Amino acid sequence: MGRTTGPLSWQQEYSLRWESEYGPNETLYDSFVVPGLTEPGAVIDRVEELAANADVLRIVEAKPGDPQPATYSDRLEAPREVVRCTSPDDVGKAVREHHSAGFDAAGPRWTFAVIEHPDETGRTVNTLSVLFDHLLADAHSMTLFRSRMLSGVNTEERTGHFQEWVRAQRQEFDPTAPNNPARQFWLRTLDGASPYQGINPEVFGEGDGAHLGSIHINTFSSLSLTTLNELARRLKATPFVILLAVATATAAELTGGAPDLVIRSQNSGRTHATMNTLGSMATGMPFRLRHPQLECVDSALQVARAAWSDALRYYHTPWLFIETVSASTGVQDTAEDHPQLILNFFPREISGIGEQHGEDGEVSYQVSENELYVYPIEGGGLLLRLTVNLQHTSLRRAREFLSTFASRLKQLAEAA
């Protein structure tokens, strides 16, 4: 068995740092029937075929601090098991048991199980259950993995592509190079602000001490993704820019007219050349939005459009790089005082979301920021979800923010 070593990406380094400070990383999981493959061995063969090209699936070790911290095997070593169920009703239990078993952090950071079972017609099928550490995969990777397992086509990727991307990323985003264009861009863009700059406490209030933990609150908007796309065309913006502008105007309104805000967005971290590359590339980017009338949607849209246009060439910047170059200038992190507002927009309709997802609920992990999610619903409408930590956020003010955001988005669509 051959092994080679290589560098880690900025995103992977961030995952290892998170793990050392806060405990295990977030895990991503999925399960689905692999059509056309009636034998478990055929499903395993397809996974191995995929891993032969997608080298991130062959990472067997990651050691922070080493010059070459990632170790790659020349073959798939991820733990796997075959489970046989006699009833379709037993499949869910087998999937839950696989996901809850986890994996050994000292070895490959993912596992899979092939569950052989009859379907509703009595025909034998195989369900593939996978569990990934965030060190190896992000949401986009999970979509790629499922697509390739369903189609059996692996031509979009070639061996070594992920490692090539990591080396190119480390060269492009070298924080020690004083004339690095990306470094100069982000220092100019932030202009002395922390990339973690929290939202004014007047927006979300203070935690009242009566509640502990994190929750998500939800509301629905009747606006469809089609309507949002049409609105973007009329306003010469993108759907994301519109949502960023409305979130900015809402936050400014609830502070009585704050003229200077930093809002972070989450994105895939991918360029055109890496859209089909498996790996953990997701990142975030801060937008500093300044205008004396930010509470006005037209003004917020103006600065959001300009900020987005300016940042497009560095859309794939790793968050840890931005944090590193900002800290090197002595800028203080303000996130501990007041939570940051993060905007997550999903540009495609998501199936399976309905009224049952509109209830408020607890979050199984602690959040340190206030995260606003916008999910387009298949068939029309948007699910608006705000995730907050009640230790530092008022539930009443969080509900007010979400309600105001939904109302102002609707008003903008009607006015246009």
Give the mean pLDDT of 105-109. 87
Give me the pLDDT at residue 393, please.
86
Q: Residue 69 class from Cβ within 10 Å (0-12 exposed, 13-18 middle, 19+ buried)?
A: middle
Output phi, psi for 140, to 5 deg. Answer: -65, -40
Judge contact between 145 and 50, C-beta under 8 A. Answer: yes
DSSP alpha helix (H) spans, 61-191: 91-101, 139-151, 161-172, 181-190
Highest mean pLDDT among 197-206, 239-248, 327-336: 239-248
Give me the pLDDT at residue 210, please.
58
Distance CA 325, CA 328 (A): 5
Judge contact between 133 and 25, C-beta under 8 A. Answer: yes
Give me the pLDDT at residue 335, please.
53
Give the mean pLDDT of 302-324. 95
Give me the pLDDT at residue 206, please.
78
Residue 383 amino acid letter: L
Q: What pTM, to 2 d.p., does this model score?
A: 0.88
Give the mean pLDDT of 98-117. 92
CA dihedral 394, 400, 401, 404 (to 10 degrees): 180
Give me the pLDDT at residue 22, please.
76
Judge contact between 219 and 364, C-beta under 8 A. Answer: no
pLDDT (tens digit per residue) in 264-281:
999 999 988 888 899 999
- SS3 (DSSP) at 165: helix
Give me the pLDDT at residue 360, please.
85
pLDDT (tens digit per residue) in 3-54:
999 999 999 999 998 888 877 888 999 999 999 998 999 999 999 999 998 9
Give me the pLDDT at residue 368, please.
79
Distance CA 139, CA 134 (A): 9
Smallest CA-to-CA distance from 160 within 10, 278, 288 is with 278
pLDDT (tens digit per residue) in 83-99:
999 988 899 999 999 99
Give me the pLDDT at residue 25, please.
81
Say if 3-170 and 178-415 have the same CATH topology. yes
C-alpha neighbours within 13 Å on the C-beta side of residue 102? 7
Question: Is residue 344 over pLDDT 90?
Answer: yes
Question: Is residue 80 over pLDDT 60?
Answer: yes
pLDDT band at 313 (very low <50, low <70, confident <90, very high): very high
- According to DSSP, the β-strands at 260-267 and 341-345 are parallel
Residue 132 β-bridge partners:
28, 110
Judge contact between 372 and 345, C-beta under 8 A. Answer: no
Share of the chain above pLDDT 70, in %: 95
257: left (phi over 0), alpha (psi -120 to 50) or beta: left
pLDDT band at 355 (very low <50, low <70, confident <90, very high): low
- SS3 (DSSP) at 154: coil
Give me the pLDDT at residue 187, please.
94
- According to DSSP, the β-strands at 214-221 and 341-345 are unpaired
Judge contact between 372 and 340, C-beta under 8 A. Answer: no
Mean pLDDT of the chain: 90
Give me the pLDDT at residue 211, please.
60
Give the mean pLDDT of 375-394. 90
- Which CATH number applies to 3-170: 3.40.190.10, 3.90.1150.10, 3.30.559.10, 3.60.15.10? 3.30.559.10
Contacts of 154 (CB under 8 A, 6+ apart): 49, 50, 52, 53, 54, 148
Q: How far is CA 380 from CA 45, 162, 351, 406, in A?
A: 39, 37, 11, 15
pLDDT (tens digit per residue) in 133-187:
999 999 899 999 999 999 876 666 778 889 999 999 999 999 988 899 999 999 9
CA dihedral 198, 200, 205, 206 (to 10 degrees): 50
Distance CA 126, CA 37 (A): 7
Give me the pLDDT at residue 386, please.
95
Q: Where are the domains of the chain?
A: 3-170, 178-415
Distance CA 210, CA 226 (A): 41
Architecture of domain 178-415 in this structure? 2-Layer Sandwich (3.30)
Angle at 294 between CA 292 and CA 297, to 5 degrees: 135
Give the mean pLDDT of 387-397. 87
Share of the chain above pLDDT 90, in %: 68
pLDDT band at 331 (very low <50, low <70, confident <90, very high): confident
DSSP for 3-33, please give it: EEEEPPPHHHHHHHHHHHHHSSPPEEEEEEE
237: left (phi over 0), alpha (psi -120 to 50) or beta: beta
Residue 121 amino acid letter: T
Question: Is residue 230 over pLDDT 90?
Answer: yes
Give me the pLDDT at residue 129, please.
97
pLDDT band at 334 (very low <50, low <70, confident <90, very high): low
Give me the pLDDT at residue 237, please.
96
Give the mean pLDDT of 123-128. 96
